[in-house]
Each structure stands twice: as C-alpha cells, then as structure tokens.
Amino acid sequence: MRLGCAAVALALTVAAARADDPAAPHFVDATAASGLAASYDGEWQYMVGGGVAAFDCAHDGKPSVLIAGGEGAAKFFRNVSRPGAEPKFELQPSGLELKSVVGAYPIDIDGDGEVDLVVLRVGEVDLMRGLGNCRFENANAAWGFVSQDAWWTAFSATFEKGERWPTLAFGSYVDRSKDQPWGTCTQNLIYRPARDNGEPQRRFSAPLPLAPSFCPLSMLFTDWNRSGTPSLRVSNDREYYEGGQEQMWRVAPGEPPRLYTEAEGWKYLRVWGMGIASYDLSGSGYPDYFLTSMADQHLMRVERPQGGPPTRPAFNEIAFKHGVTAHRPYAGGDLRPSTGWHAQFEDVANSGLVDLFIAKGNVSEMKDFAARDPNNLLMQRADGTFVEMGDKAGIVSFEQARGAALADFSLSGALDILVVNRNAPARFWRNDTPALGHWLGLQAMQDGPNRDAVGGWIEVKLGDRVQRRELTVGGGHASGQLTWVHFGLGTARQAEARVIWPDGTADAWRPVAADGFYRMRRGAGPARWTPPP
C-alpha cells in the first residue's frame, strides 16, 4: 500500500483519545533479563499452537512456565524470582522436554496436590504427572489414558458432579496426511472417569467422540447459565470445516454429551475460531466470551430476558459496541486485517476494571492479513468500552504471536506478559506501571479430588460492585494457567472476597486487606499468604 494512503488509513484506525480513557500502563521488554529463551518453531504443522502453561510446581507461589517448542523440544523454565523483584527464570530439566508440543494446560488430575500437565502434541496427548519439585513423568498408562494420533489443538477439563476424577475434552485439527486437508477435521474426544461395576476409578474410560468435530483451536468448560453444570464451548476454525459452526456441548453427568441446537436457542456463528477468553464484564453474574479470529474479533454475551437469568444458550455479538473488534493493527503501518490467537482478560493496571490482551500474528505468510500485527492491550473504560493502549504500554512487537500468559510472575501484585512467538523468540514484558492500583491475589483450595475448585468462582466485592472469575481449565490458545487469580482494586485498600465452590456452596463474604495473597480454603475463609523471601 502506498505510504500516503497508509498514513491516512492508519489515522482512521487509531481512535481519538477520550477524557475517560484510563491512564496507560507501562511495560518493559525484559526478555533477556528474565532468562526466558524459547521459540515455537516449525512450518505447516506448527502454524497453530505455540502455547505456554504457567503453574506453581514448587509450592512457592511462583508460576513457572512450560513453553511449547513445536518441532523443537518444549522448555521448562523454573521461576526463581525473588518476590517483588525482577522476574527471573531458569531452564531446568523437568521431564517435560517433549517434541511436537503444541500447547499445555496445568491441572491437578489425581488430586495429590502436585500440579499435573496436559500436553497437546502433533501426534499424541501426554498426561504428565507432577512428582513434586517441578519433575514430571508420563502417566498415560497409569491413568488408563489412551491417546489417539492426531493434531491436538484444544483442551478443557471439568470435574463432573459426584466424580472424583476429571473429565477431559480434547479438540483436534485436520488430517495432516492430506495434501488438501479442507473438510478433514478429525475427531474431538471426551474422556470421562472410568467406573468398574459402578464404582468410580482413578483412571479414564475409553473416550467418546464429540461428533461432529469442526477443527477447534480452543475449547472451554464454562457454566454459561450458572446451572452448576458447565457446558463445553468449542471455537472452531472455519478455514477447514464443512458444514461447521461454533459449538456448545451440554455435558450432563451420566449422559452422553449433546450439542445445543438452534431449536434450543443456539445461534449459528462461523468464525476462524482460535482462542476463547471469558469474563463477566457486565457484572451480571454470567460470563461473556471473547473469541479470537481473523479480521474482527468477537465478544459474545448471553441473552437474559428482562435482565433475568438466561433461559436459552443464545449469544449475541457485542464486540463492536464495546470496541474490541481489534480487526486491524493499530501500529506498524500494516493496514491489512489482523489475526488473533490467545486472549486473556486481566486487570493489568489494577484499576478494578479488567482489560483484554490479545496475542496477534499472521498465520504464515497470509498475504491478505497483516504481517506486522502487534498484540493488543485493550484497556477498559468505566463505561465498559475498551481503548487500545498496546503502543502506549510499550508492548508493540511484530512477531507471529500465538500463546500467552498474563500472570504475577514475581509476586509483586503486577501482571507481566509472556508471549510465545512462532519461529521467533518468546517475549517477556515486565509490568512497570508507575501508578498501579491496589490488588489481590487469590487462590481457592479444597480437600479431595478437585483441589483447585475447578468449576467454582472467586468473587471480590467493592461496595456494591462484584468482580468475579470462573475457575476454569481450558480456553485461550493452547495456553493455560494454574496460579493466583488476580483482582485489581483501584484505590480501595480493602475488599470482601468469597469462593463459590463447584458444588454451588457459597462461602460468606470475608474482608481482605489489599495488596496481598490469600489462600481461600473451603470453610476456612481467606488466609493471608506471604511469599518466602
């Protein structure tokens, strides 16, 4: 495109500043200082994926990371940061140094208090059991998990009612043996807990197909209507399916999964589904779903008749209204449409309003889409709309970003950003915002199999306003986290917090002082946790 035209058009893409725009956060590229040196490498079979898992495997509260390597081996970096200081990581052997890794999600499968990892690969899925002290071993055989050969690209997990073992859902992409793989979406699978003579077992049953399968790049068990039974939302890549669309499976205990239908209210939506992020933006108690795609990104909100509870799985597009279409680069001069991957709602300024990060990057020399496609950092205004501040925040880069993790890596109360890039080094941006608001880091813990309360909610109340986060495993783009749940408090020095546990039991609201970490044990309320020096 001619420069003059580009300049005019770029001006059109940059929204005028508004008086109610939030102050811009500030990040510093600390990749070299962090010690993170990794890259997601590979050609066609690695054009998608490139995830990162962030999890505490050392019981020190600090999220370490596993970064997918594609054709190369995945790399585990142990978090050796001193609390509140510069984030530091060390490459360490962990047993996770697998090849062909697309992405990974942390979850405590066997309820032993040691985080396990579900590793998606081109080929097989590996369930990696945590042995303690950040060591892992393959537990497929021990847990009766028989993986099939496929291009695994999506994952989510839940603990179904009454079960002592999780249910795992996997999404696979195309038949990679085909020269023309369009229309060859391979089978998605769901593994439920095994039972012998009706008795629950600590292993998985043979998988059930989630048919039809439409080449998902993200899936998420989520309780969209607060029924207590999460459904499986699946975001599918329209590039490859025939007759496909976005999907949501009703996964009721003891019943085969079944798709929500048009007759039930499900609305036909076809996008280049690449990632899912969820958050209750409206404060209604019901999560909204951000779906990354090519060109326009999508934000879906469930219909609530007369403002009451949703009565059917009907979602409407609200991205345009909220200013999160993020359809074109906002910096770099490339005006072609954008390509979104991992997305995550987090409050990076601790303002009390959650923001939206989107990892961006061309699929692979797609000429009709931006080659210089910076990641987005969309900051939320008080009126619920968002404004792009990636450039002001200092996170503009032009690699092919894929997975990401926004987390408090140094236990400082500020969220840093780790982005995995395809065929380029991962980047780490340290949050250096000078005037951060107050914050909380919360973690729900219970005894028994579902130790991290997957399927529950953590809520924080400031006055009459409640922020809430559903505790999920899945979504994003090939990237998952099991670490502190972060809440910004703005100027408030105190808030109330509670957990709504997966069985629906709600703890009482308890006061919590700002700027601290709290472990919220079932029945015990929040207990302040101080990082070891």
∠ CA 139-126-204, rounded to 5° = 60
| Residue partners of 423: CB distance under 8 A and separation at least 6 | 39, 40, 41, 42, 400
Told to check if 88 binds another protein by CB under 8 A, we report no
Among 301, 336, 342, 360, binds another protein (CB under 8 A): 336
Site for another protein in 227-246 (CB under 8 A): 238-240, 242-243
Among 204, 369, 386, 501, binds another protein (CB under 8 A): 369
The total of other beta-carbon atoms located within 10 Å of residue 301's CB is 21
Separation of alpha carbons 155 and 188, rounded Å? 10
Q: 109 in helix, strand or coil?
A: coil
Contact pattern from residue 266 through residue 295 relative to another protein, giving x for each residue in contact according to CB under 8 A and a dash for the rest: ----x-----------------------xx
Q: Helix (H, G, I), strand (E, B), or coil: what is residue 22?
A: coil
Q: How far apart are CA 360 and CA 339, in angstroms?
A: 5
Q: CB of residue 533 vs another protein: minimum separation in angstroms?
A: 49
Q: Which lies closer to another protein via its Cβ, residue 41 or residue 163?
A: 41
Over the window 119 to 148, marking each residue x when it contacts another protein by CB under 8 A and - when it does not, the resulting string is: ------------------------------
| Cβ nearer to another protein, comparing 317 with 503 | 317
Round to whole Å and give the CA distance between 242 and 184.
Answer: 8
Q: Which of 291, 376, 353 lies closest to 13, judged by CA?
A: 376
User: What is the side-by-side strand order in the sheet with 400-407?
Assistant: 27-29, 427-431, 416-422, 400-407
Q: Which of 203, 312, 327, 521 binds another protein (CB under 8 A)?
A: 327
Which CA distances in Å does 228 have to 141, 445, 470?
32, 18, 12
Neighbouring-strand partners of residue 308? none
Taking the CA atoms of 319, 320, 323 and 325 in sequence, report the sign of the dihedral they define: positive
Among all chains, which residue has been given the structure tokens 């725009």? 21
**Per CB under 8 A, 1 contacts another protein:** yes
Task: For another protein, give the closer residue by CB, 82 or 270.
Answer: 270
User: Which residues, numbered 147-166, are part of the site for another protein (CB under 8 A)?
Assistant: none
Instruction: Give the nearest distance from C-beta 365 to another protein in angstroms.
Output: 7
- Which parts of 179-218 interact with another protein (CB under 8 A)? 179-183
Q: Distance from CA of residue 254 to its chain's centroid?
A: 28
Q: Please report how close the Cβ of residue 8 comes to another protein at its closest, in angstroms.
A: 7
Q: Which is nearer to another protein, 62 or 238 (CB)?
A: 238
Q: Which of the residues 348 through 367 are near another protein (CB under 8 A)?
A: 363-367
Size of the site for another protein (CB under 8 A): 40
> Considering only residues 276, 335, 489, 512, which one is a binding residue for another protein as defined by CB under 8 A?
335
Burial of 178 (0-12, 13-18, 19+ CB in 10 A): exposed
Q: Which of 83, 144, 337, 504 binds another protein (CB under 8 A)?
A: 337
Distance, in Å, from the CA atom of 98 to the CA atom of 207, rounded to the nearest integer, reads 24
Least distance CB 47 / another protein (angstroms): 6
Q: Is 226 an interacting residue with respect to another protein (CB under 8 A)?
A: no
Q: Considering beta carbons, is residue 324 or 482 the nearer one to another protein?
A: 324
Which phi and psi angles does 11 have, rounded to 5°? Answer: -60, -35
Binding site for another protein (CB under 8 A): 1, 5, 8-9, 12, 43-44, 47, 179-183, 238-240, 242-243, 270, 294-296, 317-321, 325, 327-328, 335-337, 363-369
